[in-house]
Structure 1
Amino acid sequence: MKITKLLLAVLVVSLSLSFISCSKNESNGKARLQVYLTDDPGDYDEVLIDVQDILVNYTSNENEGWESLNNVKRGTYDVLKLVNDKDTMLADAEMPTGKIEQIRLILGPNNYVKVNGSTIKLETPSAQQSGLKLNIHQDVTGDIIYKLHLDFDVAKSIHQTGNGKFMLKPVIRTILEAAGGTIKGYIKPDSIQTAILAIQGPDTVASTFSLSGGYLIKGLNPGTYDLHFLPSDTTLAKQVKTGISVTIGKVTTVDTLKLK
């Protein structure tokens, strides 16, 4: 696709990539946390887990400072469908920069296991009804997307008692990692809205529009990119900045571009 045609398509591209691209004003220097649930297989037909909330603690106090994540997708999940590198997103929310100390996974009452065609309620010990605490203890940087994988170990999490009941004592391994890197910059004059395309080789990888001069493109794979700038004012020239290096977990700040 030629660059001259990209200006017509950039709005569609920007909307489809909105989860990795945003403006300077939208970011506010915050990080973004996406929580995914995955599973190690177990010897059951189904294991249904009722997820009701995810709390995050940015302090060292285990009893105070807990905050609910926004946009938690509450519902019942069959974790046995999330094996062999499959996962499902539980939350996608902004968070302050700093350090995540712990998260707490809050489960509802509708937890079941299906064995040999029979669906049996999973009993949860009273000590865990306030939520399962998981240690993270990792720093997060502003303008970076992070993925937190909750790896649910079914074989270790479900125990059958002598009277035939099934107990749920979740064993979950957490993995927090940066999802690519970020490019940010500024355009003058800031009154001219400009389309910015991040291009790698022949491919347009991501795109966005400037807002009040600022732009931000998140979630880029590591590598080198060329940025193409297409001003909405067609009397101004299109411009290109080449050799923009992106590193996982880092923000690459591009020198201010002056339209002319």
Structure 2
Amino acid sequence: MKTLKIFKLISITFLSIFLGSCSDDDSDSPATEQTSQISIKMVDAPGDFEHVYVDVQDVMVKVNGDVNSDAGWVSLGAENTGVVDLLELTGGVSLELANDYEVPSGTLNQIRLILGENNTVVIDGTTYDLNTPSAQQSGLKINVNTTLEPNYNYTFVLDFDANQSIVFAPDVSNINLTPVINASIEAETGVISGLVTDFDTLGSQVMIEANNGVDTFTTYANETGNFVLAALPEGNYTVTLSVETSLGLADIVFTDVAVEAGQTVTLDSILFE
């Protein structure tokens, strides 16, 4: 996940466009369309897997459209397409899917993430195919319904929850990818970050959960012990860090962690031992 952006007001000069023959009467000229700019990036709320590979092909948006119609989708020509390991999108790492793409102002109804067929999960050293029929046929529709004001730049964060997205059938060889993705505007959310100081000696993954009384957001510390929970709505959170129960180590709990939009709360020097 990259450093949180503070959105700034940008001024864009538009040229008047005249259709038909020249005339001293401007009443026949169409109104200039107002536009906004959007960027989209993806982060991961990981599950307890070795790797989760998803095949990102494109990202599309529907602005001022009919959510019940399949018309009106516009491709943003996604950057960084191809197979990506979701478990690498932790500890401050994100995947840029679109950057400063100009769209009409108004209502951003939906974002659609298009996946290809090369989706797999690695569990205990074994690679399993992930079945993703809905993603391959029409893409993953994420409801946004956010107003885009003219001349503003918005960054949307897609939080791909790997833990909830991978569904096991009775046969372990039959695993479905039913993506659970939350979308939020980066400038309207905050971040909790931290460092598990004794991570190297634990011999265990460290799971971090942040709960605001309504929703729970999860992540894992990366190989250096750092963690980042991004795109958190404003509010007070209880943050719980836990390791494998076999280690016999008590959870570490932080209460009343206040998250404000555009700000990062840092939890330092976290020790289990």
State the TM bucket, normalised to the shorter chain: 0.5 to 0.7
Match for residue 82 of structure 1 among 72, 84, 89: 89
Change in CA separation of 1:142 and 1:126 when aligned onto 2, cut-off 3 Å: closer
Matched, 1:141 2:140: no
Q: Which residue of 2 aligns with 1:36?
A: 41
Match for residue 128 of structure 2 among 115, 120, 142: 120
Q: Secondary structure at the match of 2:87?
A: helix
Q: Which residue of 2 aligns with 1:220?
A: none
User: What is the CA-CA distance between 1:128 and the residue it aligns to?
Assistant: 6.2
Q: How far apart are the structure 1 equivalents of 2:138 and 2:153? A: 28
Match for residue 55 of structure 1 among 53, 60, 66: 60
Structure 2 unpaired stretches of 5+: 1-8, 16-32, 189-261, 263-273
* Aligned residues of 2:60 and 2:113 also touching (Cα < 8 A): yes
Change in CA separation of 1:82 and 1:104 when aligned onto 2, cut-off 3 Å: same
* Aligned residues of 2:49 and 2:122 also touching (Cα < 8 A): yes
Change in CA separation of 1:23 and 1:125 when aligned onto 2, cut-off 3 Å: closer
Q: Secondary structure at the match of 1:73?
A: coil
Aligned residues between the structures: 161
Deviations 1:124-171 (A, max 9, x none): 134763111110000112222111100011110001211222110000
Q: Which residue of 2 aligns with 1:67?
A: 74
Match for residue 111 of structure 1 among 109, 119, 139: 119
User: What is the CA-CA distance between 1:94 and the residue it aligns to?
Assistant: 1.4
Q: Secondary structure at the match of 2:138?
A: coil
Match for residue 171 of structure 1 among 171, 180, 194: 180
Deviations 1:156-214 (A, max 9, x none): 000121122211000001102459xxxxxxxxxxxxxxxxxxxxxxxxxxxxxxxxxxx
Percent of residue pairs identical? 38
Change in CA separation of 1:53 and 1:71 when aligned onto 2, cut-off 3 Å: closer
List 4+ stretches of structure 1 deviating above 4 A.
20-23
Q: How far apart are the structure 2 equivalents of 1:97 and 1:23? A: 13
Deviations 1:91-112 (A, max 9, x none): 1221111110111111000111
Give the aligned residue type for 1:145.
N
Give the RMSD, CA atoms, in angstroms: 2.7
Q: Secondary structure at the match of 2:163?
A: helix
* Aligned residues of 2:39 and 2:97 also touching (Cα < 8 A): yes
Q: Which residue of 2 aligns with 1:102?
A: 110
Q: How far apart are the structure 2 equivalents of 1:23 and 1:86? A: 31
Alignment of 1:176-215 (within 5 A): 176-178=185-187
Change in CA separation of 1:78 and 1:172 when aligned onto 2, cut-off 3 Å: same
Q: How far apart are the structure 2 equivalents of 1:91 and 1:98? A: 19
Larger radius of gyration: 1
Matched, 1:158 2:163: no
* Aligned residues of 2:58 and 2:78 also touching (Cα < 8 A): no
Query: TM-score if structure 2 supplies the norm length?
Result: 0.53
Query: TM-score if structure 1 supplies the norm length?
Result: 0.56
Q: How far apart are the structure 2 equivalents of 1:130 and 1:147? A: 24
Q: How far apart are the structure 1 equivalents of 2:135 and 2:83? A: 21
Q: How far apart are the structure 2 equivalents of 1:71 and 1:90? A: 5
User: What is the CA-CA distance between 1:71 and the residue it aligns to?
Assistant: 4.5
Q: Secondary structure at the match of 1:24?
A: coil
